[in-house]
Structure 1
Amino acid sequence: MDDANLTPRQLAYRAGVSLKQVERWLSDAELTPHARNRADACRALGVDEGMLWPKVLQERVKTGNDRELLHSYPYRSACPSTVWSELVESAGEDLFLAGYTNYFLWTQVPAFAETIRRKAESGCRVRFLLGDPNGEVTRQREEIEDVALSVSTRINITLEHLHRLGPLNGVEARFSAPLDAINHVSLSVFRFDSEALVTPHLARLVGHDSPLLHLRRQSDGGMFDRFAEHAEELWSRAEPVVA
C-alpha cells in the first residue's frame, strides 16, 4: 500500500469493498478474500496475487491423486482441435486410438493421414481399436443414438481411410472382441505416449457430446495407467481387421 501510495480507505474504494474488509485483510493473515476482490486489490496495488495471498497459489498446486488430470471438458467437442493435433504430433513411441469409431480424427486433425504415415515410418507404433461395424453392440448403439451418421457408417469411414493408407509397417487395426464391445463403446481412450484423452460416453449421447478428460502420466497406478490398462486389455483380445 505504501509503494502504491494508497491508504486503506483508498484501496477499499479501488477494490469495491468496505474499509472494514481491508482492515480485516491487514489484521488476519489467514483470511482469503473472494477471488474477484483479490483481483481488484492486486490491480489497484500493481502486484501479483501470490505476493499478497500465497496460500491461494499453494492450494492450486495439485499434490493428490488428481495431479494427472490436466484439464476436463464438459463436451469432447469443447476440446480445441489444436489439442488433438499437438498430441498426435507429439507422440513418438505409442499412438493408440481406442475410440469406438475414431472417424472424427480424419476431419478434426489436419493432414491426419499424412501424419499417421510419417509417424509409422519414423518408428512410432500406431494402433486403431475399432468397434465391429456388423456387431450386435454397434446395432444396439445405433438404435440408442438414432442419428443420420450411424455408428457403423462412422467406423466404415475410418476403415476406408485406413485402406487408403495401404500396407504400412507400424500401423495396426483391430475390432474389439464381441464380449468386450460394450466396454469399448462406453469408454474411448486415446493415448499419445504419456498423455491421454479419455471420453466416458453418457447414455444416449454421441461421442462429441460426452465429457473428456486430458491426462498426463505422473506415477505408477495413477489415472493414466488405469485407463491405459483398460485399453490394452481390450486390445489383447481384439481381432485383426482383415483388409
Structure 2
Amino acid sequence: MASRGWTHSTLAEASGVDPKSVERWVNLGRVPRRATAMKAAEALGEDIHALWPALRQARSAKAVSPELVALYEQRADLPVSVFVDLLSSAQERVDVLVYAAVFLHEAYPRLNDLLRERAEAGCQVRICLGDADSQKVQLRGQEERFGHGIESRCRLALLHYRSLVDVAGVEIRTHGTTLYNSIYRADDQALVNAHVWGVNAYGAPVWHLRRVEGGSMFDTYAESFDAVWSTAREVR
C-alpha cells in the first residue's frame, strides 16, 4: 500500500473506518470487506480491479511481528554500545545466556561495574556461561572449526565474571547444553544472536525483540533461558 502513496490515515478516511483497522490490514495481513475496499477505491480514485487483488494478496502475506524491533545480518554489525545500552536500561532483570561472549568484556571493560550497579539498584542478574568441559561446548568448537579455542574462551569468560560471584543480586552458572541462540535480556527487551552451523557467533544474525501484549516470540526465548538456567550449575 505504501508504494502507492497511501497512508494509514488517508486509507482509513477513504474507507470510513478507524485507523486501527487499517493498521490491522497492513501489519497483520488482514483484508477489508469488498464493499469497504470499493468505497476506498472510489474515494482514492483507484481501479477496484487493481486495488482488490492487491488487498487479497496481502491476506496471504505473513506480517512482520510487532515484537521485532530490528534485525542485523551479523553480530559484528552491532557496536558494543548496543549491548551496553540494553543492559544499562534494565530495572528488574538482566539475563545473559552464552558460551563465552568475551567480546563484551574486551570491548567494554566496565561491564562488571555495570552489572554490579544494576544489582545494587534491585535488578536480578543471571549470567549463564558454557561449561568448558562439556561435550556440547567441545562439539561446537569442532563445528565452527575453532577447536579448543571455544573451550579456552569459556574459561576466560568465567574469569571475567569471577569478581561478581559474591555480589548480592548476581548469580553465575555454567551450562552444558546445545546453545541454539545467545540471549542478552534486559526486562522486556532482548538481543538474540542466532547460531548457524559452522559459523562463529559474530557472523550470525541478531534480532532485537521486545515483549508486546499478545506476542509470543519474546516469551519463547525467555522461557528457553529459564529452561537452560534450571539445568545449569552454580559457580561458587
Alignment TM-score, normalising by the size of structure 1: 0.70
AA matched with 2:208: H
Q: Which amino acid aligns with 1:53?
A: W
Give the equivalent residue in structure 1 for 2:117.
118
Match of 1:224 among 193, 218, 222: 218
SS in 2 for 1:188: strand
Larger Rg: 1
| Separation in 2, partners of 1:31, 1:69 | 20
Q: 1:161: which partner in 2?
A: 160
Which stretch has the larger CA shift, 159-168 or 57-66? 57-66
Distance in 1 (alpha carbons) for counterparts of 2:2 and 2:159: 61
CA separation of 1:56/1:190 partners in 2, compared to 1, >3 Å: closer, same or farther? farther
Structure 2: runs of 5 or more not aligned? 11-21, 29-62
The alpha-carbon deviation at position 169 of structure 1 amounts to: 0.6
- Counting only pairs closer than 5 Å after superposition, residues 199-214 of structure 1 correspond to structure 2 as 199-214=193-208
Aligned CA RMSD, in angstroms, stands at 2.6
Contact 2:80–2:104 (CA<8 Å) still a contact in 1?
no
Cα distance 1:203–1:61, how it changes in 2: closer, same or farther (>3 A)? same
Secondary structure of the 1:100 match is coil
- Residue matched to 1:25: none
The Cα offsets for residues 5-28 of structure 1, whole Å up to 9 and x where unpaired, read as xxxxxxxxxxxxxxxxxxxxxxxx
Residues 96 and 127, structure 2, Cα contact 8 Å, conserved in 1:
yes
Q: Is the 8 A contact 1:129 1:173 kept in 2?
A: yes
User: Deviation of residue 172 (structure 1)?
Assistant: 0.6
Query: Residue 134 of structure 1 contacts residue 152 of structure 1 at CA under 8 Å; is this kept in 2?
Result: yes
Shift of 1:82: 2.3
**Does the 8 Å CA contact 2:132/2:155 hold for their aligned counterparts?**
yes
String of CA shifts for 1:190-220, please: whole Å, max 9, x gaps.
1110000111200111111110010010025
Structure 2 residue matching 1:67: 3-state secondary structure:
coil
Matches within 5 A, 1:6-45: 32-33=3-4
Distance apart, 1:62 and its partner CA: 3.9
| 1:193 has 2:187 as partner | yes
Equivalent position of 1:4 in the other structure: none
What are the equivalent positions in structure 2 for 1:38-187 lying under 5 Å apart? Answer: 53-54=6-7, 62-63=27-28, 66-109=65-108, 111-147=110-146, 150-165=149-164, 167-176=166-175, 178=176, 181-182=177-178, 185-187=179-181
C-alpha distance in 1 between matches for 2:210 and 2:108:
20
Quickly say closer, same or farther: Cα 1:149–1:82, change in 2 above 3 A.
farther
Equivalents in 2 of 1:235, 1:166: separation in Å?
16
Q: Helix, strand or coil for the counterpart of 2:82? A: helix
Deviations for 1:152-175, whole angstroms, at most 9, x for unmatched residues?
121112211111345101111112
Q: Which letter does structure 2 place at the counterpart of 1:157?
A: L
Q: What do residues 62-94 of structure 1 show as CA deviations (whole Å, max 9, x unaligned)?
A: 455600000001101112322212101101111
Aligned-pair identity in percent equals: 31
The gaps in structure 1 that reach 5 residues or longer are 1-29, 34-51
Looking at structure 1, the residues matched to 132 and 124 of structure 2 have their Cα atoms a distance apart, in angstroms, of 24
- After the TM superposition, which of the residue ranges 166-175 and 58-67 deviates more from structure 2? 58-67
Instruction: Please tell me the residue identity of whatever aligns with 2:73.
Output: P
